[in-house]
């Protein structure tokens, strides 16, 4: 028996490859499928099944391309309705992989079709369970993603999840390994733990939701304080349900190098220029009007949260990173990349075109400027909970994921000198690029973010106890 977790950190996503006696299955594949095909080829195995735990909302699955490449059927749980051929499994239905058995456990709650897959070894003993977004290490899936057009509420789904966990997962032996679809940082739960796998026994002991003594307590625990899901979640869920163009077609369209004149000709009002270089490089100079989202951070997640899926995208990348950028965008459903700047920003600068920049300042410089500039505004773009846990007195909180809301931007005025910071310096550069694109140029990016600011002796730090409680 061979099991491999293929974990993608920037999406906190885990896919799985299972194999025995030359037969393999893949669970929850990403859209770029080469890793699964190469693994099967290297191990001289045939991919027999593609199992999906549910309609993913945080990434586009590779089920269609992988099925086309292998002729393996796509398996979903009970109640699934798609616009492409799938095998809709029955609760309790079994599938064989060599001498292994995979049993379907229908576990509605995160979504209605959500299912876990229980793997039994060659002797028939329960070995592990692939829990999708039903059960994570230290958390459970969010229950607020009910499909539009239904009357199902968040509390209804939370109640279903309680029933699913207690009827299907609690009876499993403590030593059964738990392999979830996500790890720390994922928005598919409320507060996932640091591990990417666990065991039934560990979750019974330490998972706050599994320790709930009643159904009502469970519903209250998993719904209280849950943050709004990223805006792109419904879009990705729809793509996974209805289908999409092949990744090869997306790459063929996007991997088109453009000269500086060609790039300029493509820069129409309805096009977004996306710069994916490192934050520290972007601030030193960029094509005016560019949106920065660097590959070094949670790139695909922020792209999905901040960019429109209907707008063509032009890329400025570090030379050699064009394909990686397009693939990572495609993972969350962006299919409209129309080309990239040949030679990158250096080619733009060498041609004599206008450039823009973001002024970086150290945290101690912010402290020195604050008493002497009545127009200075500290703009903290961290999440509300981060801000509440400690921030500079009189700082304005504008969470990055809200910055495309015109009503939020209306809180800023032209005469203000904005000092923008986040926790460490990645999100603040994204925010600065969005502000610049909106015509606000009196701004500075605070290097090191809150991590450096809170170390300053003169920093007057306050907390929002009403939010924390």
- For the cut 70, the answer to whether the pLDDT of residue 68 exceeds it is yes
Range with lowest mean pLDDT among 191-205, 324-338, 393-407, 414-428: 393-407
Q: What dotted CATH number matches 245-350? A: 3.40.250.10
Q: Residue 350, Cα to own-chain centre: how many angstroms?
A: 36
Mean pLDDT, residues 388-406: 91
- For the cut 90, the answer to whether the pLDDT of residue 283 exceeds it is yes
What secondary structure letter does DSSP report for 120?
E
- For the cut 60, the answer to whether the pLDDT of residue 468 exceeds it is no
The full DSSP string for 195-264 is -S-EEHHHHHHH-TTTT-SSHHHHHHHHHTTPPPPPTTHHHHHHHHHH----HHHHHHHH--EE-HHHHH
CB neighbour list of residue 48: distance below 8 Å, 6 or more residues apart: 23, 24, 25, 72, 97
* 438 contacts 398 by C-beta, under 8 angstroms: no
Reduce the DSSP state of residue 464 to 3 states and report it. Answer: coil
Q: How far apart are CA 392 and CA 378, in angstroms?
A: 8
Provide the pLDDT for residue 274.
98
Provide the pLDDT for residue 253.
96
Structural domain boundaries in the chain: 2-235, 245-350, 359-468
pTM to 2 decimal places: 0.93
Q: How far apart are CA 203 and CA 222, in angstroms?
A: 15
Indicate the pairing of strand 443-446 with strand 417-421. parallel
Q: What confidence tier does 149 reach under pLDDT thresholds 50, 70, 90?
A: low
Q: How far apart are CA 44 and CA 84, in angstroms?
A: 29
Provide the pLDDT for residue 109.
96
- Over residues 155-165, the pLDDT tens digits come to 999 999 999 99
Provide the pLDDT for residue 213.
87
- For the cut 60, the answer to whether the pLDDT of residue 411 exceeds it is yes
2-235 topology per CATH: Metallo-beta-lactamase; Chain A (3.60.15)
- Over residues 169-180, the pLDDT tens digits come to 999 999 999 999
- Over residues 13-59, the pLDDT tens digits come to 999 999 999 999 999 999 999 999 999 999 999 999 999 999 999 99
- Over residues 211-268, the pLDDT tens digits come to 888 999 999 999 998 888 888 999 999 999 999 999 999 999 999 999 999 999 999 9
Provide the pLDDT for residue 228.
85
Provide the pLDDT for residue 147.
62
Provide the pLDDT for residue 210.
87
Q: In sequence order, what are the beta bridge partners of 140?
A: 135
| DSSP tally for the chain: helices H, then strands E | 18, 26
Q: What confidence tier does 406 reach under pLDDT thresholds 50, 70, 90?
A: confident
Q: What confidence tier does 383 reach under pLDDT thresholds 50, 70, 90?
A: very high
Residue for token digits 């459903």? 333
Mean pLDDT of the chain: 95
Reduce the DSSP state of residue 424 to 3 states and report it. Answer: coil
What secondary structure letter does DSSP report for 61?
B
Side-chain half-sphere CA neighbours of 183 within 13 A: 17
Q: Does domain 359-468 have CATH number 3.10.20.740?
A: no
* 98 contacts 19 by C-beta, under 8 angstroms: yes
Indicate the pairing of strand 198-199 with strand 177-180. antiparallel
- Over residues 423-461, the pLDDT tens digits come to 999 999 999 999 999 999 999 999 999 999 999 999 999
* Domains 2-235 and 245-350 alike in fold: no
């Amino acid at each position: 028996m061979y099991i491999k977790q293929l974990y993608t950190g920037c999406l906190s996503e885990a896919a799985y490859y299972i194999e025995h006696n030359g037969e393999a299955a893949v669970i929850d594949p990403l859209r770029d499928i080469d890793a699964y095909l190469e693994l099967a080829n290297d191990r001289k195995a045939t991919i027999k099944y593609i199992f999906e735990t549910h309609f993913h909302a945080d990434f586009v699955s590779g089920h269609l391309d992988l099925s086309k490449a292998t002729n393996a059927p796509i398996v979903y749980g009970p109640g699934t309705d798609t616009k492409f051929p799938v095998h809709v499994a029955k609760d309790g239905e079994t599938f064989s992989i060599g001498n292994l058995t995979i049993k379907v456990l229908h576990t509605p709650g995160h979504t209605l079709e959500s299912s876990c897959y229980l793997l039994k070894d060659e002797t028939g003993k329960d070995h592990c369970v692939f829990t999708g977004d039903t059960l994570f290490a230290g958390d459970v899936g969010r229950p607020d993603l009910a499909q539009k057009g239904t009357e199902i509420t968040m509390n209804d789904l939370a109640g279903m999840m309680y029933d699913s966990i207690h009827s299907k997962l609690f009876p499993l032996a403590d030593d059964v390994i738990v392999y979830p679809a996500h790890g720390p940082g994922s928005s598919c739960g409320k507060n996932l733990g640091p591990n990417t796998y666990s065991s039934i026994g560990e979750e019974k002991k330490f998972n706050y939701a599994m320790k709930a003594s009643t159904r009502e307590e469970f519903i209250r625990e998993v719904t209280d304080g849950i943050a709004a899901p990223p805006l792109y979640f419904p879009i990705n869920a729809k793509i996974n349900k209805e289908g999409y163009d092949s990744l090869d077609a997306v790459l063929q369209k996007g991997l088109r190098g453009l000269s500086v004149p060609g790039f300029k000709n493509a820069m129409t009002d309805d096009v977004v220029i996306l710069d994916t270089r490192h934050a520290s490089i972007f601030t030193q100079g960029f094509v005016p009007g560019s949106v920065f989202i660097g590959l070094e951070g949670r790139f695909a997640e922020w792209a999905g949260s901040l960019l429109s899926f209907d707008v063509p995208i032009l890329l400025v990348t570090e030379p050699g990173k064009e394909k990686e950028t397009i693939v990572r965008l495609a993972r969350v459903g962006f299919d409209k990349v129309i080309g990239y700047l040949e030679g990158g920003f250096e080619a733009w600068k060498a041609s004599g075109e206008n450039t823009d920049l973001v002024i970086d300042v150290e945290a101690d410089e912010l402290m020195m400027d604050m008493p002497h500039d009545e127009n200075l505004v500290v703009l903290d773009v961290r999440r509300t909970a981060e801000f509440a846990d400690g921030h500079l007195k009189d700082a304005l909180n504008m969470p990055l994921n809200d910055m495309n809301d015109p009503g939020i931007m209306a809180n800023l005025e032209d005469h203000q000198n904005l000092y923008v910071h986040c926790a460490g310096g990645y999100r603040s550069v994204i925010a600065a690029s969005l502000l610049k694109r909106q015509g606000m140029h009196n701004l500075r990016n605070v290097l090191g973010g809150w991590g450096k600011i809170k170390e300053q002796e003169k920093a007057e730090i306050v907390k929002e106890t009403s939010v924390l409680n």
